[in-house]
Amino acid sequence: MDTRDERLVVRLGDVRKEYGATTALDGLSLRVRAGEAVAVMGPSGCGKSTLLNLIAGLDRPTAGTVEVDGQELGALNETGLALFRRRRVGMIFQFFNLIEDLPALDNAALAAQLTGTPARQARDRALELFDELGIAERANAYPAALSGGERQRVAVARALMNRPALLLADEPTGALDSRSGEQVMDLLIDLNQIGQTLLIVTHDPGLAARCASRRVELRDGQVVAEQSLDRTP
Amino acid sequence: MSRGAGAVWRASRAAVRRRGAQTFVLGVVVFCSTVAIVVALGLLESVSAPFERAFEGRRGAHVVASYDPAEVTAARLGARAPGVEAAAGPFAQAVVTVAGTSEHLPPGPLTVVGRPSPGGPVDRVDLWAGRWPAGEGEIVLDRPGADRFFSYLLGVRFAVREGHTFTVVGLASSVSRSAEAWVTPGQAAALGPSTAQMLYRLDAAATDADVRAGTAALTAGLPSGALLGWQSYLTVKRDAGRTAAAFLPFLTAFGVLGLVVAVLIVANVVSGAVVAGSRHIGVLKALGFTPNQVVAVYLTMVLVPALAGGALGTAAGAVAARPLLDDVGAGVFTVSIGPWVYAATLAGMPAVAVLAALVPALRAHRLPAARAIGAGVPAAPGRGARVQRLLAGAPLPRAVSLGLGLPFGRPGRAGLTLAAVVLGAATVTLAAGLSLTMTAYGQAAQRTGSVHTVVHAGQARNHQTPPRHGDAEIEALLRGLPGAVYVTADAWIGLHLTGRSQPITGRFLRGDSATLGETVVEGRWLRGPGEVVAPSAFLDKRGLAVGDRLSLSLGRARAETTIVGATMDGAADLIQADWRTLTALAPDQRATQYEVRLAPGADTGTYHAAVRAADPGLYPVPKSGTDPVTVAVIGFASLLTVLLGTVAALGVFNTVLLDARERRRDLGVLKSIGMTPRQVTVMMVTSMAALGAAGGLLGLPVGVAAHRLVVPAMADAAGLALPEFMVDVWRAPLLVPLPVAGVVIAVLGALVPARSAARLTIAAVLRDE
């Protein structure tokens, strides 16, 4: 089932990002439609993570425009960006980035609680997601007691708590063994198939081939190739 | 410098530069604590040591005794007595009355002793200007020479009512306070001496009991009326240090609080530096630094700001203590802080800092290099997790519940910070209690509300217009002017207690004296002639009690009185009596001032104008509502509270700084999932506000207990008998807001690093991780 529509979730126009004398992104433009799963690939230092940070509102471009889910990020102050991240995007990281002091369920619930959702309601929503992700029985475990795959599923649950328009994944299988990596890939495919827009930064061609409907190749801060993909089973 | 030492120094210097904020905090903490301690130690030393030095250097008299020459012969007095190490005298002693015509000397009695020279085996008088009298009409006055202020008196001529005229040929001071002036023995004989003065140094004179026993031994076998009076050197010593001694208990309390807070915070700063610098430790070890060299790096890192803070704090403390020390010497001798105080603080405070650093530095010693480089020393997984789990379900904003759980992740650090806040809150509580006590004391001392205006009668010798009206007429005039409710006339007269050389002041009252608002702490107020009330300090100084008889002398006139009450006042040389008692001593004496209470709502300015219009020789002055001692104590308490509150807040600042540094990844994650900068600030401030609230609650009883210890000690040192309402100042309206002090300290300390944490760049943090 093709869940894509023509609504643009991401629109980058001529974006530049410089760190001192180093140019990380050099006039990059990119569009991602709703329901797409886009894999951003390229060698180390090509600007992949910088691109992800700009789309997530974690960093600001030196020049150009970044629009996500109809919101021009350049117009937002720090609080506005925080509210944007809270409501419009979910992020998963290579190293999971869970809070070690909180049990898995509370890690996920946290994202909803920050919006003012009462604790019980947030935990119910988190449990619902844990159930869907197959980790409900691990809800009370602390991150240190979870396997890598389980931790990444908790991170996915946290990212989905507020029903974001865009799910951003930064090397989501990079720190996992192959079996856990497979499970996470399946999870991302499932999410995209029910309409979740994905933008995945990865080195792994296998992940791109399995999860993405389009591959974008970066080099020296510029898009050098784009390719629509037929997902491999 | 060896190669190893050079490497340690370079590594330490780099560490100091890298941890600029923490280094600064450590330096400021040591600075503030050092200031408080120098002031306290300096005062402690000055209360006793300088007097002892001056007293021994001049072979001061343990006992200054006055004998009736009609009862005992000079030969008998000069005979060697048991228990006496050395004696001088007898010297003829007379009391003359300075005439009111002198511009430079106050009118009133002057105790003059005839001595052939300033030296001798006992009481070597310090002749600091001019020369010793050589003939008739020459006199040396007893004046403090510390700042040579009284040099202008040299050459002054003045007359006494007994018919003699003197020229001041010298200025001197006696550490024994054995006389107010000295003349030649021949001149003294011409003045008609009424007493013979003996000066004694006793074999045993360490305590009041020793001196009493020694004096009793001196007079054993003499006729009962032979000894007219005597004065112990311990009285003089206490008198000299009375002001500073009153300050000492609370300065010591503040000094101890400052020292403990400093140690806690230094320990916290350094242990935090070890944790935060664990990767650095690993790198140092990987580079070949031995464990001992790593310890040396961390100790040096602490020593640099501690030395700077200690040195600057010592200098600032010396400056802050100066005004108090000037009071201690009372002009009789110069007081300075001994070198040992500077040496102790200069070496001691850095040593305390290094000792506090030793335990966490030894952790660096033991930390394996691989572990340090690989993962740092994160909080043990799950520590504080149970609390966080409980709080996650609490019906609180999530930023608040997360903040409340943060201190449990580092219980040791939280404990040290809590202790610092407890002491900070205790300091605020102590200062608040002291301020209330001192305000109540000040109002009682100044008789706020009882007297609004003091009207002085003009005196020609002060280049003022004398009043047109007589004494009684003035009183009636003031009473009759619109607005006046009560009028009390009083005269301040220099007197002697019969047989004692040191003068006292008598305040004689006429009119509505019962309305003056004097605080009577024992006995009752005056009801008639032959009665006196005296401050408890006066009674303590002379070993007297309510009910005792007191013989007052003015020239040759005497009045026998009974002490009927003790007032709270700290004046150690003042008595108050009814006007009719003065009539027996000086029948022609006029009142020198009139104290007026106005009706509620009456305007002081209007009343003053009416007084001036009625008689230009009357000078009305509004009654001051400010007691200088109250102002000084509250001022010092406030200064020290600010210092220690700042130190405690810096401890909180440091803790939040360390927490934010260690939790950079968590902060980045929280911000990445939508925590706003305001929520980050709230979370970090809440983490310390919770500690602050706990610290405030715990600090309250500590502060109240300190107040309970310090106030009676201060009152005792100052010779004050404080009524209970001035000691028991703790009422519900005060007790409720005081614990907030802990929260204020915590929030002020946390705010800056919390806002800095809120500005953390997420991308950089997560990239670093």
For chain B, domain boundaries: 1-55+263-377, 63-204, 378-448+627-769, 453-624
Q: Shortest Cα distance from B626 to chain A (angstroms)? A: 52
pLDDT tens-digit map of B725-739: 888 888 888 788 888
Q: Number of C-alpha atoms within 13 angstroms, CB side, residue B87?
A: 20
Bridge partners (DSSP) listed for residue B139: B168
Reported as a pLDDT band with limits 50, 70 and 90, residue B375 is: very low
Task: Report the largest interatomic distance among the alpha carbons of chain B, rounded to a whole angstrom.
Answer: 102
Amino acid at B663: R
| Predicted local distance difference test score (pLDDT) of residue B377 | 41
Token pair for residue B149?
């202020």
Q: Number of C-alpha atoms within 13 angstroms, CB side, residue B396?
A: 18
Kindly state the average pLDDT of the residues A178-202.
Answer: 88
Residue in B383, B389, B671, B673 to test binding to A, most A beta-carbons within 10 Å: B673
Kindly state the average pLDDT of the residues B68-75.
Answer: 82
Token pair for residue B552?
């007052």
pLDDT tens-digit map of B685-702: 999 999 999 999 999 999
Q: Does the pLDDT of residue B166 top 60, yes or no?
A: yes
> Which chain B residues contact residue A86 at CB under 8 A?
673-675
DSSP B455-508: EEEP-GGGT-PPPSS-HHHHHHHHHHSTTEEEEEEEEEEEEEETT-SSEEEEEE
Q: Does the pLDDT of residue B604 top 90, yes or no?
A: no
| Predicted local distance difference test score (pLDDT) of residue B88 | 86
Rounded to whole angstroms, the Cα distance separating A136 from A154 reads: 10
Which range has the worst mean pLDDT, A131-145, B28-42, B232-246, B397-411?
A: B232-246
Rounded to whole angstroms, the Cα distance separating A96 from B672 reads: 12
pLDDT tens-digit map of B282-323: 777 777 777 788 788 878 888 888 899 989 988 888 887 776
Distance set, CA B264 to CA B452, B536, B649 (Å): 50, 42, 12
Distance set, CA B612 to CA A37, B421, B488, B696 (Å): 98, 57, 18, 55
Closest CA to A18 of A10, A27, A9: A27
Interface check for B404 against chain A (CB to CB < 8 A): the answer is no
pLDDT tens-digit map of B394-420: 888 999 999 999 888 888 888 888 988
Q: Does the pLDDT of residue B378 top 50, yes or no?
A: no
| Predicted local distance difference test score (pLDDT) of residue B292 | 80
Rounded to whole angstroms, the Cα distance separating B389 from B284 reads: 38
Nearest CB partner across the interface for B385, out of A86, A90, A142:
A142
Closest CA to B320 of B661, B724, B759, B638: B638
Kindly state the average pLDDT of the residues B34-52.
Answer: 70
DSSP B189-201: HHT---EEEEEEE
For chain A, what is the mean pLDDT?
89
Rounded to whole angstroms, the Cα distance separating A178 from B556 reads: 116
Q: B385 and A103: CB-CB below 8 Å?
A: yes
Q: B766 and A58: CB-CB below 8 Å?
A: yes
Helix (H, G, I), strand (E, B) or coil at B116: coil
User: What CATH number was assigned to the domain covering residues B453-624?
Assistant: 2.40.40.20
Which range has the worst mean pLDDT, A7-11, A151-155, B107-111, B674-678?
A: B107-111
Question: So where are chain A's domains?
Answer: 8-228
Interface check for B761 against chain A (CB to CB < 8 A): the answer is yes
Q: Shortest Cα distance from B675 to chain A (angstroms)? A: 6
| Predicted local distance difference test score (pLDDT) of residue B247 | 65
Reported as a pLDDT band with limits 50, 70 and 90, residue A51 is: very high
Angle in degrees, 0-180, between the axes of helices B677-718 and B664-672, rounded to the nearest 10: 130
3-class SS letters over B669-681: HHHHCCCCHHHHH
- Preceding peptide of B90 cis, ω within 30°: yes
Reported as a pLDDT band with limits 50, 70 and 90, residue B183 is: very high
CATH topology of domain A8-228: Rossmann fold (3.40.50)
Q: B676 and A78: CB-CB below 8 Å?
A: yes
Token pair for residue A85?
């991240």
Bridge partners (DSSP) listed for residue A10: A32, A68
Count of C-beta atoms within a 10 Å radius of residue B443: 18
Interface check for B672 against chain A (CB to CB < 8 A): the answer is yes
Helix (H, G, I), strand (E, B) or coil at B4: helix
